[in-house]
Amino acid sequence: MSKTILITGSTDGIGKLAAIQLAKEGHDIYLHGRNSEKLASVISETKTLSKNEKVKGLVADFSDLEAVSKMAENIVNTVPKIDVLINNAGIYTSKTATNNNGLDIRIVVNYLAAYVLTNALLPLLKKSEMGRIINLSSAAQSPVSESVMMGTERQSENTTYGQSKLALTMWSFDLAAKEPDLTVIAVNPGSLLNTKMANEAYGQHWAPAEKGANLLVDLAISEMYKNDSGKYFNNDKGEDRGVFSPAHADVYDEDKIRQLIEITNKVLGNLVS
């Protein structure tokens, strides 16, 4: 059965590869990117390779949370339902360390944008018989600092990236608990895959991007994972394929999760006050 699937950050890397695979299987695909020309090119490429015309695009700069909210509003007004949301958009290196609100760009793009978008789209996901949310985490995870989240303290790229990914994972578990009718899975798609982000950040890669893309496709549509909400999939473990495994200890700390959600809503509240 054809599904409606939205993949953020899907104009390159594993998001693009997964989108092409899913389009080949006949699904309705919504690609997202921040550059309209690049997005149009990828839409055209995806249609050609998949022979599927049901490929559309959404433009928004995820470092701008107002743009994220506007994109979400557009989706709610034009898309009847969403079966799968893959929060794939991510950033490590950047020419600018902070966004226009003075928040670290990694915290914004990797965590806050997904938080804002997903919460806005929950009504559409709940219209699906088997709504599924896949959040792209990482092997790199660091304890979340309130001052970094609030933009009052700057730390290293590596540390802040790790904080953004742990925050995303903690929130994934919280969302899974609060929305039992949805399947929410956090996933490390694999360390140092051959993607633009990994090569720019580290100047090397260990595994092909397809390793992560193939996993995203499986997690998005396979019946195998319909009962795995509130789990963490680690594609660095296992032999032929990754496995579900324990996440960072903070993911299981209810007090720390509560604090994270409070800080998150405080940050977002400051932006509209």
Catalytic residue, chosen from 30, 111, 161, 232, is 161
Q: pLDDT at position 96, please?
A: 84
**Alpha carbons 108 and 64: distance in angstroms, whole number:** 8
Residue 105's closest CA among 8, 236, 23, 113? 113
161 among known catalytic residues? yes
Express each pLDDT in 152-171 by its tens digit.
Answer: 999 998 899 999 999 999 99
What is the average per-residue pLDDT within 32-43?
A: 97
Question: Which pTM value belongs to this model?
Answer: 0.93
Express each pLDDT in 174-232 by its tens digit.
Answer: 999 999 999 999 998 865 454 555 445 445 444 566 777 888 999 999 999 999 999 99
Strand partners, 5: 29, 84
- Would the CA dihedral through 90, 227, 259, 69 be positive or negative? positive
